[in-house]
């Protein structure tokens, strides 16, 4: 499985991830970055500034994806819209 690196960018400052994570694919890496962004922005107002992102890179240093810390979050479906099992 590939190793992905989650560098943190805030304006001109980049904090490099030296360890990375071994994950099955880029979709899993994106999901991990979104979880991390939620932790970083927890407690901030919903309308927070669009500052900072994770830069997901491959083992050879290629930038694969940027995941902003502040992303529109999907709204929770109304109770009547949820599936019933």
For residue range 48-78, what is the model confidence (pLDDT) as tens digits?
555 789 999 999 999 999 999 886 554 444 4
Please compute the mean of the pLDDT values over residues 37-52 and round it to a whole number. 71
Q: How far apart are CA 43 and CA 55, in angstroms?
A: 23
Q: What DSSP element (H or E) covers 22?
A: strand 21-22
Hey, what's the torsion of the CAs at 18, 1, 36, 75, to 10 degrees? 160
Q: What is the pLDDT of residue 70?
A: 80
User: In which band, very low, low, confident or very high, does the pLDDT at 30 lie, cut at 50, 70 and 90?
Assistant: very high
Q: What is the pLDDT of residue 79?
A: 47
Give CB contacts under 8 A, 24+ apart, made by 76-85: none
More confident residue, 8 or 85: 8
pLDDT of 19 > 70? The answer is yes
């Amino acid at each position: 499985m590939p190793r992905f690196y989650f560098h943190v960018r805030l304006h001109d400052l980049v904090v490099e991830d030296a360890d990375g994570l071994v994950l099955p694919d880029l979709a899993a890496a994106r999901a991990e970055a979104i979880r991390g962004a939620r932790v970083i922005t927890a407690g901030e107002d919903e309308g927070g500034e669009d500052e900072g992102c994770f830069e997901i890179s491959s083992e050879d240093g290629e930038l694969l994806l940027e995941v902003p810390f502040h992303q529109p979050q999907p709204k929770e479906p109304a109770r009547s819209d949820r599936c019933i099992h």
